[in-house]
């Protein structure tokens, strides 16, 4: 199954690849060059199909856990000052997505969208420290039953040139539901309350709508 955001690119790439394969067959006489061109075109199509894949993931909403919003690798776990919405300290967990990861963004928790804003910007590499505040990005905040307000940012990377964000202020959303898409390499930052327990480690690979990123801190008796 492929994400709807990739439909036009997939169709265009398919016809381009067909044209390249046929042209190579009829106009390139040297056999090994003909095969090389055809194989390269088919590899391009396979890469595009892989990038826009959208695997279905069954989620039973859990108000006590924040799930990974995307597939990728945890590259940042730190306390930060968040100036845009919270205007205070938050725990930031950043997940980097390589071009081979699934790039669907899913809601990390169930709740109500209280803030959703797009910011144009630069295209620094996604792991750059300033990418969270200077790159093209969207900031979304959800009000959740257990964690209060949590935020996330979709951040464009050096290859990404379009962020798709479905969150609308006032909308009720469900954990694991499709929240958007980032095309060709990117990062997502989660902005969480200071009193939650982070359940992942730096360098850990996570799966969107599956891996627990944070949970409610249990009081010590």
Question: Is the predicted pLDDT of residue 184 greater than 70, yes or no?
Answer: no
Catalytic residues: 186
* Confidence tier at 221 by pLDDT (50, 70, 90): very low
Q: Report yes or no: 113 and 168 within 8 Å, Cβ to Cβ.
A: yes
Question: Is the predicted pLDDT of residue 13 greater than 60, yes or no?
Answer: yes
What class has domain 65-215? mainly beta
Strand pairing partners for 188?
Answer: 95, 154
At 138 the pLDDT is 92
Question: Is the predicted pLDDT of residue 4 greater than 60, yes or no?
Answer: yes
Arithmetic mean of pLDDT over the chain: 88
> Which of 180, 206, 182 lies closest to 51 in space, CA to CA?
182
Question: Is the predicted pLDDT of residue 95 greater than 80, yes or no?
Answer: yes
Task: Name the residue ranges covered by the structural domains of the chain.
Answer: 4-51, 65-215
pLDDT digits (tens, 9 = 90+) for 131-159: 566 678 899 999 999 999 999 999 886 55
In whole angstroms, give the CA distance from residue 74 to residue 95.
4
Task: Report the percentage of the chain scoring pLDDT > 90.
Answer: 64
């Amino acid at each position: 199954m492929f994400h709807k955001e990739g439909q036009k690119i997939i169709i265009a790439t398919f016809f381009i690849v067909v044209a390249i394969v046929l042209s190579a067959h009829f106009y390139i006489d040297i056999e090994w060059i003909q095969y090389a061109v055809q194989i390269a075109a088919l590899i391009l199509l396979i890469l595009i199909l892989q990038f826009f894949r959208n695997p279905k993931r069954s989620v039973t909403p859990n108000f006590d856990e924040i799930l990974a919003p995307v597939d990728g690798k945890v590259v940042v776990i730190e306390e930060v000052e968040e100036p845009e919405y919270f205007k205070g300290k938050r725990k930031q967990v950043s997940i980097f997505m390589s071009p081979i990861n699934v790039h669907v963004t899913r809601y990390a928790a169930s709740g109500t969208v209280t803030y959703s804003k797009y910011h144009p910007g630069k295209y620094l590499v996604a792991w750059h420290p300033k990418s969270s505040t200077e790159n093209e990005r969207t900031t979304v905040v959800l009000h959740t039953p257990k964690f209060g307000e949590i935020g996330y940012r979709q951040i464009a990377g050096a290859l990404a040139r379009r962020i798709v964000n479905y969150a609308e202020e006032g909308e009720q959303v469900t954990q694991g539901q499709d929240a958007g898409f980032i095309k060709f390499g990117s990062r997502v930052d989660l902005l969480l309350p200071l009193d939650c327990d982070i359940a992942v480690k730096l360098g850990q690979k996570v799966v969107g709508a599956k891996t627990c990123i944070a949970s409610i801190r249990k009081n010590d008796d």
